[in-house]
Amino acid sequence: MLRAVELFSGIGGMHCALDFTDLIYEIIAAIDINPTANLVYASNFPNAPVMNRTIEGISLNQWEKWNADIWLMSPPCQPFTRQGKQEDLNDRRTDGFVHLMKIILPQLKAKPKYILLENVSGFEYSQAHQLLLDTLQAHNYYYEQYLLSPIQFGIPNSRLRFYLIAKQQEKPTDTYSSSILTRISNFERLYNKLRQQFPSKDLSLEENSFYENDQITDRCSHSSEILVQPDQSIYINDFLISNENQDFELNEKQLERGLHVCDIITCHAKRSFCFTKSYGKYFEGTGSLFRTLSNRIRYFTPKEIANLHCFPLNYQFPEQITTRQAYSLLGNSLSVFVVGVLLENLFERS
Ligand SMILES: C[S@@+](CC[C@H](N)C(=O)[O-])C[C@H]1O[C@@H](n2cnc3c(N)ncnc32)[C@H](O)[C@@H]1O
């Protein structure tokens, strides 16, 4: 059984990704400082040991006891985002990651055999990235780096992210690849599993809802290489809870502002913009809006965004979590499908 530690665990995207694969695993600790995220995590995984702690606050002794086989981590991305100040290692939000790289990994006797890291695209130009590679090389980890987005796999959502998978070798590796791969193979099994989770729904009754914008932006919304056949890319429709949803419709004032700056798609779209943590708060660049069959404009619901991230169907947000909080947590989270594919590739080669 694989002993996994989930660092910066948020709402458990990495946990869901492990679940999505056929790997036999146990989460021995999920660590995050955000009590709201931890509440959502714990309500979905009541048996997982969620720790409301800073990574820096965990003793080396505790790490030795955990004796983890794999570290799964999504360190905070704000120090590296284009919208942020890009303070990189000078941003205190990298402290947990730096602690892992400079103190824990070098000193730990029971080093994890595997590491998977997710972050924003742009991370690959940072000093934090260099620190990661230097640390992995110093401790004989072989690694591969990727820039991947769910839309490449036919999932109608753009979320270009940097990923690194690493495996410790017995002997030093003399060559390390600096290339960052933009395609990956060995995903067909998980794609078929995904289609069972989100089967094709009939669009025939909804032909009139076709909206020009769906196609135009289909052609220019991403530059990543599509890895599935055109007929394998999935309609937004298959991820919806229902087409209409009055509770999520924009009011007059929001419409006035939103219509000009927002990307709007229908159930016929095979794409959507990346949903950020500011979805529902600001319009521009935070995610797509949805045009219903009755021509109403609404937000995607948190559950629909969770679906687009390929979270399990039974994943829930507890009642006390507000919609805004759910958007924010989902915006920080990850594509369960893409991480699942990376995990399968990591273990395939083991
Ligand atoms: C990019 S999010 C990770 C999201 C997660 N992968 C998910 O699926 O929801 C980064 C997380 O790191 C947490 N965090 C930031 N600094 C931390 C620290 N020093 N120790 C522990 N958690 C920290 C934040 O609260 C946030 O939930």
In short, whether 54's Cβ falls inside 6 Å of ligand 1 is: yes
Alpha helices in the chain (DSSP H): 13-20, 35-44, 60-66, 95-99, 105-107, 127-138, 188-197, 212-220, 252-261, 302-308, 323-332, 336-348
User: What ligand 1 atom has the least distance to the C-alpha of 15?
Assistant: 8
pLDDT tens per residue across span 189-223: 999 999 999 999 987 656 555 666 665 444 444 55
Examine the residue annotation and report whether 274 is marked as an active-site residue of this protein. Answer: no
Q: How far is CA 219 from CA 136, 153, 175, 176, 238, in A?
A: 38, 16, 38, 35, 20
Specify the residue for token string 């992210």.
161
Just give the CATH number of 2-190+335-348. Answer: 3.40.50.150
Residue-level pLDDT at 262: 86
Catalytic-role residue among 77, 262, 274, 310: 77
Segments of the chain assigned E as strands:
2-7, 25-32, 50-52, 70-73, 114-120, 141-148, 161-168, 180-181, 264-265, 289-291, 297-298
Residue-level pLDDT at 218: 47
Alpha-carbon distance 217 to 220, whole Å? Answer: 5
- pLDDT band of residue 83 (cuts 50, 70, 90) is low
Residue 336 has pLDDT above 70, yes or no: yes
User: What ligand 1 atom has the least distance to the C-alpha of 118?
Assistant: 6
Q: How many A from CA of 344 to the centre of ligand 1?
A: 23
Q: How far is CA 142 from CA 169, 178, 282, 344, in A?
A: 7, 11, 41, 16
Determine the average pLDDT of the residues in 322-334.
98
Residue nearest to atom 18 of ligand 1 (CA): 54
- Find the helix or strand (DSSP H, E) in which 90 lies: none
pLDDT tens per residue across span 228-255: 998 899 999 999 999 999 999 999 988 9
In short, whether 237's Cβ falls inside 6 Å of ligand 1 is: no
Q: How many A from CA of 329 to the centre of ligand 1?
A: 10
Please state the domain extents for the chain.
2-190+335-348, 199-332
Residue 182 has pLDDT above 70, yes or no: yes
Residue-level pLDDT at 216: 46
Q: How many A from CA of 219 to the centre of ligand 1?
A: 34
Just give the CATH number of 199-332. Answer: 3.90.120.10
| Average model confidence (pLDDT) across the chain | 91
Alpha-carbon distance 249 to 135, whole Å? Answer: 49
Tokens of 63: 């790490």
Residue-level pLDDT at 219: 45
In short, whether 331's Cβ falls inside 6 Å of ligand 1 is: no
Tokens of 204: 């025939």
Alpha-carbon distance 311 to 331, whole Å? Answer: 13
Q: How many A from CA of 73 to the centre of ligand 1?
A: 8
Q: Integer distance in angstroms from the first to the last C-alpha of the chain?
A: 15
Measured in degrees and rounded to the nearest 5, phi and psi for residue 311 equal -65, 155
Q: In the chain, pLDDT over 90 holds for what percent of residues?
A: 78
